Amino acid sequence: MDETPILVFTDSRDSAASLRCPAVFISFFGWDIAVVFFRNLSVKWKIYFIAIVSILGFGGYLGFNVWVNMENGKLLASLHDVYSPVLEKAKLANINLERIDESLGVAVMIAEADFIDNAKSTADSINKLFNEITILDPSSAGQINTLQKTFGEYFAATVGITEDMISEDADLSEIAARSQNKQELLDKTKELLAAYIKYADAKFTDSISQANANSQLMLNSGFAIWGVCIFIMAITVYAIARIIINNINKVSSSLDTM
């Protein structure tokens, strides 16, 4: 009668001895606190707690993963729907601005008014591009309005000079001053447009960089969450196992003394 329990619980004591090694590591982080906590739980809840920790760890990582992916989705949507087309339209407006200057220069040289009509059509295209940019990126409305106003002043000045020179109605005493004013307005328009292109390009690049940073954050945080979950699981399993084995050893000792 005495031999059977002794044989059974000798294995348990060996198991307890095998737990002494991890105890050195885990006790450094205060595993005794965990033991006190788990000692007040029933066996059922001790087992449930292992599953609860696993579910919370997985749920936390999944929730964080979903949040990062949603943020990246917003950034990629902005790239596709806003920053990429805005940058493309701004660059196209810059190209069209050069075409206007070329068309009006040709119109003066060959005295052909059709080139003025072409320039007006190109100017309408530029204004349309500016309006589309404002719709896509309302935050830049002030910047675009200033650009559009300066462009309008330049275009009115350059068309006026061109028409007067073709019709030979230009006052030669005023041509130099008018040409200088037209050139200053053109330079200012180009400067404002170049500044906006730089701004749009920076927004485009920053969105890509932010998406990459979010992905890296998700990767690093995933490892951190995984490490924390593993650590908590290790403490939980060890504490529960230690409590159960201690209880078994107490029963074994009480049987030995019988």
Where are the domains positioned within the chain? Answer: 3-59+226-256, 82-221
User: Which of 90, 23, 79, 35 is CA-nearest to residue 209?
Assistant: 79
Please report the pLDDT score of residue 236 as a whole number.
74
- Cβ neighbours of 117 (radius 10 Å): 12
Q: Which CATH architecture has domain 82-221?
A: Up-down Bundle (1.20)
pTM of the model: 0.61
- Structure confidence by residue, pLDDT tens digits, 205-227: 887 877 778 777 777 877 787 78
State which residues of the chain have pLDDT below 50: 1-29
Please report the pLDDT score of residue 160 as a whole number.
86
Please report the pLDDT score of residue 134 as a whole number.
92
- What does the buried/exposed string (b/e) look like for 225-241 if buried means 16 or more CB atoms within 10 Å of the residue's CB? beeebeebeebbbbbbb
Report the distance separating Cα 200 and Cα 140, nearest Å: 9
Q: 77: part of which helix (H) or strand (E)?
A: helix 43-78
Eight-class DSSP state of 42: -
User: Which of 224, 232, 249, 244 is CA-nearest to residue 8?
Assistant: 249
- Structure tokens, 171: 């006052």
Please report the pLDDT score of residue 169 as a whole number.
67
- Structure tokens, 65: 């993963």
Please report the pLDDT score of residue 66 as a whole number.
82
Please report the pLDDT score of residue 16 as a whole number.
43
